Structure 1
Amino acid sequence: MRVLLVAALLLVGSGQAPATAAGTYELLFRSTALKGLEAVPAGSEAGQSTVVYDRLVSGAADGQMDGSFSIGLKVKADDKVTMTLYQGTRSRGLGEYPASVGNPVIMYFLESVLADIAAQSGGSPFYMRNRIKEALLEDAQVVPVTRQYRNRDVAAQEVMIRPFLKDKARARMGRFSELALTVTVSEEIPGWYYSLVATVPAAAGASEVGYSHAITLDGKGEGKP
């Protein structure tokens, strides 16, 4: 899972408008995403987080990761940020990263989606990873939107990536060729990301549901998960 994370760390108007390749990457991997967030004081309660996200997955390959989770990001005084996955009373560390390179939740999101669709489709995770990495460095459509945070409307931007839309192997990928990655960002949102959503439709006439993986900023945006 760390391969795409490391690669991402190293690459550090009105109406509907295209973003240049550089603009797309800057929107998705903003190096200053955690700027201005206060560090959690040393010795504070173990579960205390700086920013909390709700994570909801449905239609995963084996169903084990289906359900509702929380992700807590703790910014520390030593310019490090830790990421923890919570489900009920259980928790699992997701790593520690330099806070100066940005918010690692997007890298966790991309790797989780990659693992899910590779397992379901039976395709090569290496091939899919490369296509996603290429899509992150291409032009994208960016739509200005409004989102509600703390009972007020905030201006945001919605970026959609379709990594397999023009892929040469699209015909063999079935419904997974329709993967859409939609990331909503805003200067007014702590941590930069309002939501990160991946969707794959269900196969036509099939009984299984489509795949959905959504990570959304908690309504309070801070505190315990």
Structure 2
Amino acid sequence: MKPTILAATLAALLMLGGTPPLAQTPPAADTAPVTKASTAAPNASDLLFEQPQMKNVPPGTKLTYGYIRRSGISKGPFGPPMDDTIKLGIEPGKSADARDIRVEMFSGANRFPAGPFEDMPGNPVMTLFLEHHLMDMARVLSANPRYIKNAIRKGLRDNATVTPTTIDYKGRTVSAWRIETQPFLEDRMKDRMRGMENIRYTFVTSDAVPGELVSIEAQSKNAEGGELLQESLTYDPNAG
């Protein structure tokens, strides 16, 4: 896949201008949160999608991310529990900070076609996770996927907290950023969310980690604390 195609995908996911369309159907101690309005913290969307995250990944490296999905909604509309991996094979790109990237998205019967990506400065696994999540959410909620996409985009733009934190990476403590948003709490369509309007998206990034992405989590619980959805992606530094 050419970089312009992925760039268009990223722009569609997190485009900063315009008005969202109507739905067709409905690891360490943190300090005090710092909102994107503060000059002490980067913008959430810029931090996640505009940085050359692959610049610290040597060609010949394979990055492995563990993927887990669980759901407690009756009859399991998200499907059976899933525990799999997404693997990225890294080769030199045309520029110093970019890489050519091969993707193995899940395995066996879960296999999902993705990539390859050419001359990519950013880490495509973030978009791969979100695109897969959006498809499932749209199906489960009988909703317009563009509406969900725009709500997440707006949440990261206007209502995200960016918190400095630390993580343990290969036995040492390194600096990281924690980004959180709950984009549907005040959404005008929240009554159609099947109780999932409280879904929280949490991203952890660190420039000390290859590819910079440490983890992504999408989590929603009902009023009794029961799990409606637990979906996560976590970098595995010990996998080859």
Q: Same fold (TM over 0.5)?
A: yes
**SS at 2:43 equivalent:** helix
Checking the alignment, whether the CA contact within 8 Å between 1:34 and 1:99 is kept in structure 2 is: no
- Correspondences of 1:54-203 after superposition (within 5 Å): 54-59=66-71, 61-64=77-80, 66-78=81-93, 79-87=99-107, 91-202=111-222
Matches of 2:159 and 2:91, distance apart in 1 = 34
CA contact (8 A) 1:5 1:111 kept: no
Assess if the C-alpha contact under 8 Å between 2:101 and 2:120 holds in 1: no
Q: Which runs of 5+ in 1 are unaligned?
A: 41-48
1:7 aligns with 2:12: no
Root-mean-square deviation (CA), in Å? 2.9
CA shift in 2, pair 1:168/1:108, >3 Å: same
Question: Which amino acid in 1 is paired with 2:83?
Answer: S
4+ residue stretches of structure 1 with deviation over 6 A?
Answer: none
Three-state SS of the structure 2 residue aligned to 1:94 is: coil
TM-score (norm 2): 0.75
Structure 1, residues 86-135: CA drift from partner, whole Å, max 9, x if none?
A: 33698554212244340011101111221222222222222212212222
2-side partners of 1:174 and 1:88: how far apart?
31
Distance 1:140 1:211, change over 3 A: same
SS in 1 for 2:195: helix
1:137 aligned counterpart, secondary structure = helix
**Could you tell me how far apart the structure 1 residues matched to 2:198 and 2:159 are?**
18
Find 2:36's aligned residue among 8, 11, 19: 19
Deviations 1:148-181 (A, max 9, x none): 1112222211100211122111233242211111
1:31 CA displacement: 2.7
Matched positions, count: 208
Return the alpha-carbon distance in structure 2 between the equivalents of residues 187 and 63 of structure 1: 34
Write the deviation string for residues 35-85 of structure 1: whole angstroms up to 9, x where unpaired.
Answer: 021112xxxxxxxx5211111111162424x22111111112243212212
Q: 1:176 to 1:90 in 2, by over 3 A?
A: closer
Shift of 1:216: 0.3
Amino acid at match of 2:77: A
Who is 1:46 aligned against? none
Given that 1:9 and 1:101 are in contact with CA atoms closer than 8 Å, whether structure 2 keeps it comes out as no
State the shift of 1:18 in Å. 0.5
Name the stretch that deviates more: 106-115 or 169-178: 169-178
Q: Is the 8 A contact 1:4 1:111 kept in 2?
A: no
